[in-house]
């Protein structure tokens, strides 16, 4: 099939890589759950071989999480190769075992048909997440922010900050109507 690039790993699970776009906001709900926004559910499910699995990890530079589907895991060996080559070219140290441990230390989080999932305390604390999440599609991954941490970012993030504020206002208005 032209344009189809399957990734396979583990127990025969396949998925296609995704480009995530869009935004979303989720306050912490009942039973300590957040909601994966509709804009991302089908793409994550597709990228996870049809399974409702969101992979989460701490962003390597920003104080936020990254979310992606399982298909991205198959790119990790290429990422390691590329980073090692770059380190050699730049004459900087590279410990493949350490970097591999960082890449593969993501969390698998299941979500239901409504997108509800539980964010474990250990991953939430890494990005200072307390009572709300802002999701920002960014191509190969989704950045997932505690709004307070996003608002600390430089002007390059102004558009995301504005969207987050708007979505927060919508959520607050919706909560008042209940």
pLDDT in tens, 33-47: 999 999 899 999 999
Residue 128 belongs to a domain: yes
- DSSP class of residue 164 equals H
Residue 7 belongs to a domain: no
Quote the number of domains for the chain.
Answer: 1
CATH number of the structural domain spanning residue 115: 3.40.1550.20
Which residues form the domain of 163?
19-72+104-177
Q: For tokens 């690039």, what's the residue?
A: 5
71 Cβ contact partners less than 8 Å away, ≥ 6 residues apart: 7, 14, 15, 16, 17, 18, 47, 48, 49
Kindly calculate the radius of gyration of the chain based on its CA atoms and give it in whole angstroms. 17
Residue 62 belongs to a domain: yes
Residue 99 belongs to a domain: no
> How does pLDDT run across 72-129, given as a tens digit for each residue?
999 999 999 999 999 999 999 999 999 999 999 999 999 999 999 999 999 999 999 9
Residue 147 belongs to a domain: yes
Q: For tokens 């239901």, what's the residue?
A: 112
Residue 88 belongs to a domain: no
Identify the CA nearest to 126 among candidates 110, 149, 103: 149
93 Cβ contact partners less than 8 Å away, ≥ 6 residues apart: 87
Question: Pairing relation of β-strands 142-145 and 65-68?
Answer: antiparallel
Q: For tokens 């607050």, what's the residue?
A: 172
> What is the overall mean pLDDT for the chain?
90
Greater pLDDT, 143 or 14: 143
Residue 82 belongs to a domain: no
| pTM: predicted TM-score of the whole model, two decimal places | 0.86
Residue 12 belongs to a domain: no
């Amino acid at each position: 099939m032209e344009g189809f690039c399957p990734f396979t790993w583990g127990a025969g699970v396949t998925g296609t890589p995704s480009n995530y776009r869009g935004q979303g906001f989720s306050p912490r709900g009942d039973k300590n759950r957040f909601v994966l926004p509709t804009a991302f559910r089908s793409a994550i499910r597709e990228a996870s071989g049809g399974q409702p699995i969101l992979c989460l990890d701490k962003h390597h530079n920003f104080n936020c999480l990254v979310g992606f589907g399982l298909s991205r895991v198959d790119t990790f060996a290429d990422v390691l190769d590329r980073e090692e080559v770059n380190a050699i070219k730049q004459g900087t140290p590279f410990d493949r075992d350490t970097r591999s441990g960082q890449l593969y230390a993501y969390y698998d989080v299941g979500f239901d048909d409504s997108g509800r999932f539980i964010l474990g305390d250990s991953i939430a604390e890494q990005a200072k997440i307390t009572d709300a999440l802002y999701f920002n599609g960014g191509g190969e991954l989704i950045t997932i922010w505690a709004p307070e941490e996003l608002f600390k970012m430089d002007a390059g993030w102004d558009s995301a900050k504005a969207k987050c504020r708007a979505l927060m206002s919508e959520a607050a208005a919706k909560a008042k109507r209940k």
